[in-house]
């Protein structure tokens, strides 16, 4: 297992990442695009990961995007430094911050388009 993968396998502070981290962009990525960016902030320069959303494991029922309140639970997969991983994060919509971690999975579990 890669050292970065190992380090990010415990709960870490995260924020919504990507090229335009905003509530509206996050909502669009959750609802329409299916890829979200989660940035782990405690690494040098931050580690911004694009994850393929697993809609069946994610939960937006506690979110009120119109009011910018509540929280969402997101899960998705990616390959990080040759390690197939699942990113698991809980994001507060008021601040676009939360906690997240990585979990190593079997390569077959990583969805490839």
In a domain, 22, yes or no: yes
User: What CATH number corresponds to the domain at position 75?
Assistant: 2.40.250.10
Look at the chain and count its residues: 113
Q: What is the pLDDT of residues 16-37, one digit of tens each?
A: 999 989 999 999 999 999 999 9
**pLDDT the model gives residue 28:** 97
Phi-psi region of 70 (alpha: psi -120 to 50; beta: other; left: phi over 0): left
In a domain, 61, yes or no: yes
**pLDDT the model gives residue 55:** 95
Count up the domains in the chain and report the number.
1
In a domain, 111, yes or no: no
Q: Is the dihedral of CA 62, 65, 70, 75 positive or negative?
A: positive
Q: What is the pLDDT of residues 39-98, one digit of tens each?
A: 999 999 999 999 999 999 999 999 999 999 999 999 999 999 999 999 999 999 999 999
**pLDDT the model gives residue 106:** 85
In a domain, 26, yes or no: yes
In a domain, 112, yes or no: no
Taking the C-alpha atoms of residue 113 and residue 103, their distance in angstroms, rounded to an integer, is 21
In a domain, 113, yes or no: no
The domain of 52 spans 3-106
């Amino acid at each position: 297992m890669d050292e970065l993968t190992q380090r990010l396998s415990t709960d870490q502070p995260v924020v919504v990442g990507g090229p335009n981290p905003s509530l509206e962009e996050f909502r669009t990525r959750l609802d329409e695009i299916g890829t979200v960016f989660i940035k782990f902030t405690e690494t040098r320069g931050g580690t911004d990961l694009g994850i393929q959303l697993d809609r069946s494991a994610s939960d937006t029922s506690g979110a009120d995007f119109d009011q910018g309140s509540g929280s969402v639970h997101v899960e998705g997969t990616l390959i990080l430094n040759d390690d197939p991983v699942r990113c698991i994060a809980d994001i507060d919509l008021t601040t676009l911050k939360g906690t997240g971690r990585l979990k190593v999975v079997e390569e077959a579990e990583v969805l490839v388009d």
